Chains A and B, each alone.
Chain A
Amino acid sequence: QVQLQESGPGLVKPSETLSLTCAVSGYSISSGYYWGWIRQPPGKGLEWIGSIYHSGSTYYNPSLKSRVTISVDTSKNQFSLKLSSVTAADTAVYYCARHKPGANFDYWGQGTLVTVSS
């Protein structure tokens, strides 16, 4: 059974960098699929942030592209998200998920709430 688990600080100060990691079990990242990040502000809808392939190929939501970096560590079977210069508008539950290119997100992590506040 594929499982994803997000981890990282739950509180980040404005202007700092949000960093999260998604650990994958039950499936080798190197075997294929894309690995993405999606966020959901409190009481609002879902927003795709970006995705990465095991080769390191990435693509990002243009509205966040200047602040987002997604990387992969196949040796640890995990991938990571960095979002710089955060503001209160970046407060959200952040999910990691697996998907095929151009398709649906079939496995999701449980999500982690990140609050941006001083």
Chain B
Amino acid sequence: SYVLTQPPSVSVAPGQTARITCGGNNIGSKSVHWYQQKPGQAPVLVVYDDSDRPSGIPERFSGSNSGNTATLTISRVEAGDEADYYCQVWDSSSDHPYVFGTGTKVTVL
């Protein structure tokens, strides 16, 4: 089945920019979605279809996708952005089509 690899952790100072990568074979050919999960809470969709934001998600959250890497960028990081982040794709060629990344813990210093 398709594998999505994320760095276990990313640390960033308040006001700076956090970049979270999601690696997969030719991931640029797929639509990538990103979820934020705070402790004890359900995941929340923050970016879909590579770079679109659901209603209510700040413009500070943006996404890109090319080649073998998709990236979620959080600009002007705030303390409230501290959470786990997961990427997700649909692999149409697989019998296990809904695949989540390994997850990245973002720590705000």
Contacts and interface: CB of A to CB of B under 8 A. Distances in A.
A76 B86 CA distance: 32
A111 B54 contact: no
Contacts of A99: 98
B70 to A, nearest CB: 13
| Size class of the B contact interface (CB-based, 8 Å) | 20 to 34
Interface string A91-109: 0000100010011111011
A38 B42 CA distance: 11
Interface in B80-103: 86, 88, 90, 92, 95-103
B100 A47 contact: yes
B31 interface: yes
Given A45-B86, A46-B86, A102 B42 contact: no
Given A48-B98, A102-B92, A104-B48, 19 more contacts: A36-B98, A38-B100, A45-B86, A45-B101, A45-B102, A45-B103, A46-B86, A47-B100, A48-B99, A48-B100, A61-B96, A62-B95, A63-B96, A104-B33, A104-B45, A104-B49, A105-B33, A109-B42, A110-B41
Contacts of A80: none
Given A45-B86, A61-B96, A63-B96, A106 B54 contact: yes
Contacts of B1: 62
A103 to B, nearest CB: 7
Contacts of B97: 59, 102
A111 B41 CA distance: 8
A15 B43 CA distance: 29
A51 interface: yes
A63 B96 CA distance: 8
Contact of B100 (A46, A59, A108, A111): A46
Contacts of B45: 104-106
A109 B43 CA distance: 9
B91 to A, nearest CB: 9
Contact of B98 (A51, A63, A106, A108): A51
Nearest to A45: B103
Nearest to A61: B96
